[in-house]
Structure 1
Amino acid sequence: MTRRQRNGVIVIDAQPRSTAEDHLRAVVSHDVDGAIIVDHSGAVRFLNSAAERLLNRHGAELHGQIFGFPLVVGERAEVEVLRPDGEFAVAEMRVLSIVWEGQDAFLITLRDVTFERRAEAALREAEAFSIAILNSLASEIVVLDKQGKIVAVNEAWLQFGRENGITDLASISVGADYFTACAAAGPGTGGPEALQGLKAVLSGELAEFTYEYPCPGPQGMRWFALRAVPLRGARQGLVVAHNDITDQRRAAQIAAEAEMLREQVRQMERELISVEAISRPDEMVRSLTAPLRQRAPDLFSYGLERYGALLEEALYSRVHRTPAPSRSLRELGEWFGSIWAAPRDLIEVHLQAMRDRSQHNTPKKLQAYFEEGRLLLLELMGHLASYYRSMAAGELSFRDSE
């Protein structure tokens, strides 16, 4: 048997035929890749044992059968082969032109890549599952590599960017440099402090890092809690979660405001208690010891409505620089005095008004309510004290005249 080229095609002289076939089998039978020879019509003329294993069929079954896949000489293609057991195998196919037994033929090599493609599919499925888990979380999640580059984000993180006017989402998505962005934030923004903590977790100095920071935006000032933990697995990195804690901050602010107001009026309350004791008849004192909200809920609601209106008017005066509603506030203080309201009742009215406004207002407007409400309450307390002092003085004069 001899080989020669004719017009760029490998020619295998088949005389003697048995020697040519034996030599061809010797060349391909030990190849780890499958090898199939088909004639010009596509009928199978030979296949090696590797091809039999890949196709899970004996060569005798396929001999003379049409191969069934388009053949493009010189091109590589991946094909899925259906085996008799119903399973699919994936092979990388390459086709060469040859002359076999004196006729034009094709040599098809099939490299079994089933395991690799299944592994790739499993990896894609695992990654998709991981992303699905990330997207199911309400927190804004960013996954960083050991250099601080973003390798994964969830939809909540991207949505946060959209809501805050970031049109180039690529700047906060995969490939962006998170560490550089923190460093560029500058002093007073929390960026450098956050960067220091993130690097401490990455180096192993800290098991985790938490940090609260403000974030101004179109909806006003919002607060977030950053929590960073190491990325578990072969790849080093960080998982960084950002949780919106604005509501918790508002609640804490309301609680702090309430405590501060209680502290401010404690001295005034002690004075008013003694004034009340002088002003009220003994039987009335006994009957009015319960809070106004409990003993007269309708009066409490009416007082809350009037106080809320004055609070809105005070905020309007602040914005438009108009006179504050002092007379109306004095009248409200006297009205509370006429129903024997205690200082604690005024505090409760104020706190309820703040709670009502904390649900649907921006942090900036809520802060304005706090500032105006504090002044409003103190002035209202003063009017209530003046009312009780006047009553006490009148009662003492009445008793003296007797």
Structure 2
Amino acid sequence: MKRSNPGIITRCVGKHGPTRRIIIEPPTRSTAEENLRAIVSHDADGAIIVDNSGVVRFLNSAAERLLDRHGAELHGQVFGFPLVVGERAEVEVLRPNGEFAVAEMRVVSIVWEGQDALLITLRDVTFERQAETALREAEEFSITILNSLTNEIVVLDEQGKIVAVNEAWLRFGRENGITDLAAISVGADYFAACAVDKTLTGGIDVLQGLRDVLAGNKEEFSCEYELPTSAGTRWFALRAVPLRGKRRGIVISHTDITEQRRAAQLAAEAEMLREQVRQMERELTNVDALSRPEDTARSRLSSLRQRLPEVFEYALHRYGSLLDEALQSRIHRTQLPPRALRELGEFLGSGWATPRDLIDIHLQAIRQRSAQSPPKKLQAYVEEGRLLLLELMGHLASFYRSLAIGELASRPPEQ
């Protein structure tokens, strides 16, 4: 007869001779199950065994440490995560202290204590994920810093490939007609672009300078270049420095210096024009000295600005208006009505103005316009003003000549 419970048969020697005793012991676990229990118990990863209902039947010490809970608390409890055999998943485990741990979970089918069960392995990846999060946040922070800069920034690896750019660089590309931003974005070959770019002044020299910085032959490389754009030629300052850190590469910044260039050019032109004004002032002063009769009473009068300030201000306003009209006539190639300038000359003559007063009016009008006019316009004011001043002096001389002739005509003939 087949016995349902196997036993161990032993021999026993008694008082009445040898006898046979049958001792029934609990069945022993199979070698495979014992091996599984030993492996699970000593595994560095957390291991939890649940039955088909999801109730915890066993967990090792690594699982207790991961969950931060004693095994007795969990034994007999339902495992709270969906279980799919053969798949891997990451789960967040809430510990009693309120902190979260991240574990990589895998589920396999096993037989445990003679019944179908599931073995759940939990590998603690908390520190790995924290490191990845910190790295990702650091990279995002770096990009945020780059995007906060107004300069166009490009970061290259040791092969000359773009590994990072900022928003200012991409915006510059869009504003200058680059429709394929991939050509200037991460992955593009910056060195190759420099080699073939015909619009970049000294492209080959720029490329060599960048290679020297990358090779460590130079601490930095900088240059200025002009770039034709839809809005006209613009100037940029390029500066390249090595990328600090484990990764080799270079950081390149492009700074728009167009306004600084224009300002320097305007300052140089303005200084040249100021020298022309000073030269003209010296010339006209000499004319005044030659034309002023020393023995006339008018030569001993004070300046018109001091004697008749209202007359001086009106003449200055009127002369300035005529100067603006002369500039418009130059642009439109028309003639300035001569009557207006003659009337101003007669008005100044009625106040006994001298050539020196005219010079004072002229220079004051030029100075008023030099502060708000670009160099080319100021130069046009100077050129037109020189002619206007000489013509006004002629009208003033004619007024005094007519006045002198009238005085002579009114005198009785000498006896």
TM-score scaled by length of structure 1: 0.76
Q: Is the Cα–Cα contact under 8 Å of residues 143 and 239 in structure 1 kept in the other structure?
A: yes
AA matched with 2:198: G
AA matched with 1:327: L
Q: Is the Cα–Cα contact under 8 Å of residues 316 and 365 in structure 2 kept in the other structure?
A: no
AA matched with 2:383: L
- Looking at structure 1, the residues matched to 315 and 236 of structure 2 have their Cα atoms a distance apart, in angstroms, of 40
The one of 222, 230, 245 equivalent to 1:233 is 245
- Aligned pair in 2 of structure 1 residues 234, 353: CA closer, same or farther (>3 Å)? same
Identity %: 60
Aligned partner of 1:383 in structure 2 is 388
Aligned partner of 1:33 in structure 2 is 45
- Looking at structure 2, the residues matched to 170 and 80 of structure 1 have their Cα atoms a distance apart, in angstroms, of 38
Aligned partner of 2:279 in structure 1 is 267
SS at match of 1:41: coil
Q: Is the Cα–Cα contact under 8 Å of residues 95 and 109 in structure 1 kept in the other structure?
A: yes
Question: Aligned-pair distance for 1:220?
Answer: 2.6
| 5+ residue gaps, structure 2 | 1-25, 293-297, 349-356, 409-415
- Aligned pair in 2 of structure 1 residues 331, 228: CA closer, same or farther (>3 Å)? farther
Aligned partner of 2:336 in structure 1 is 327
Q: Cα deviation per residue 1:332-381 (whole Å; 9 max; x = unaligned)?
A: 899699662446545534533425xxxxxxxxxxxxxx556534532432
Q: Is the Cα–Cα contact under 8 Å of residues 276 and 388 in structure 1 kept in the other structure?
A: no
Aligned partner of 2:258 in structure 1 is 246
SS at match of 1:17: coil
Aligned partner of 1:133 in structure 2 is 145
Question: Aligned-pair distance for 1:78?
Answer: 0.8
Q: Cα deviation per residue 1:264-309 (whole Å; 9 max; x = unaligned)?
A: 4443332112223445845444857xxx9xx95x876776666566
Q: Is the Cα–Cα contact under 8 Å of residues 304 and 353 in structure 1 kept in the other structure?
A: no
Pairs aligned (count): 363
Question: Aligned-pair distance for 1:20?
Answer: 6.1
- Looking at structure 1, the residues matched to 87 and 231 of structure 2 have their Cα atoms a distance apart, in angstroms, of 58
The one of 190, 201, 209 equivalent to 1:189 is 201
SS at match of 1:50: helix
Q: Which structure is richer in relative contact order (CA contacts within 8 A, separation 6 or more)?
A: 1
The question of 1:93 aligning with 2:105 is answered: yes
SS at match of 2:245: coil
* Aligned Cα root-mean-square deviation (Å): 3.7
Q: Is the Cα–Cα contact under 8 Å of residues 197 and 209 in structure 1 kept in the other structure?
A: yes
Aligned partner of 2:83 in structure 1 is 71
The question of 1:154 aligning with 2:166 is answered: yes
Question: Aligned-pair distance for 1:107?
Answer: 1.1
- Looking at structure 2, the residues matched to 264 and 166 of structure 1 have their Cα atoms a distance apart, in angstroms, of 45
The one of 96, 117, 120 equivalent to 2:129 is 117
The question of 1:374 aligning with 2:379 is answered: yes
- Aligned pair in 2 of structure 1 residues 114, 333: CA closer, same or farther (>3 Å)? farther
Aligned partner of 1:209 in structure 2 is 221
- Aligned pair in 2 of structure 1 residues 95, 229: CA closer, same or farther (>3 Å)? same
Q: Cα deviation per residue 1:169-217 (whole Å; 9 max; x = unaligned)?
A: 2222111222222222137634333323322322233322232222332
- Looking at structure 2, the residues matched to 143 and 395 of structure 1 have their Cα atoms a distance apart, in angstroms, of 77
Aligned partner of 2:358 in structure 1 is 340
